Amino acid sequence: MSARAETLLWLAQRISAMVLAVVVAVHIGTIIYAVQGGLTAQEIIGRVQGNTGWLAFYGVFVAAVAIHGPIGLRTILREMTPVPARLIDVAAAAFAVLLAWTGWQAAYGLYGFGGA
């Protein structure tokens, strides 16, 4: 991979980390706030269902995870295993697609829960 591509990956990981710092804090803060009165599926669905704000929030969350995780995993595999670099790139890209697909599907599924 070219020096420019490697550097852009590094930048993408740093920027996604900054995004994650904020969204993870909001996510955990909401959990702590929401469980005060007990935790039920109904309450969660009541909060996120049909709420475009939460859909956008978790859309960004999933995007940041799908960018950040696979780049880090790629670096770890390259440093710690003898797996060929090309194969690691393909595996990391596939992992990114998997995270984005399943994550967005979950976020959209809750948004439209019950056919709303």
Partner 1 sequence: MADMASMLDVSVWRGAGEGRFVSYPVPRRENQTVLDVVTYVQRRLDATLAYRFSCRVGMCGSCAMTVNGVARWTCRTHVGRVAKDGRLRIAPLRNMPVIKDLSVDMAGFFAKAARAKGAFRPTADRAADFAVIAPDSPRRRRADTAIECIGCGVCYASCDVVTWNPDYLGPAALNRAWTLVNDERDGGNRERLAAVAGDAGCHACHSHQSCMERCPKHLNPTESIAGLKRATGLAALAGKL
Binding site for partner 1 (CB under 8 A): 1, 3-4, 6-8, 10-11, 14, 75, 78-79
Nearer to partner 1, 44 or 77 (CB): 77
Nearer to partner 1, 7 or 30 (CB): 7
How far from the centroid of its chain's Cα atoms is residue 53's Cα?
Answer: 17
Quote the least distance from Cβ 89 to partner 1, whole Å: 12
Q: Which of 30, 31, 16, 94 is nearest to 62 (CA)?
A: 16
- CA 37, CA 40: separation in Å to the nearest integer? 9
Quote the least distance from Cβ 37 to partner 1, whole Å: 43
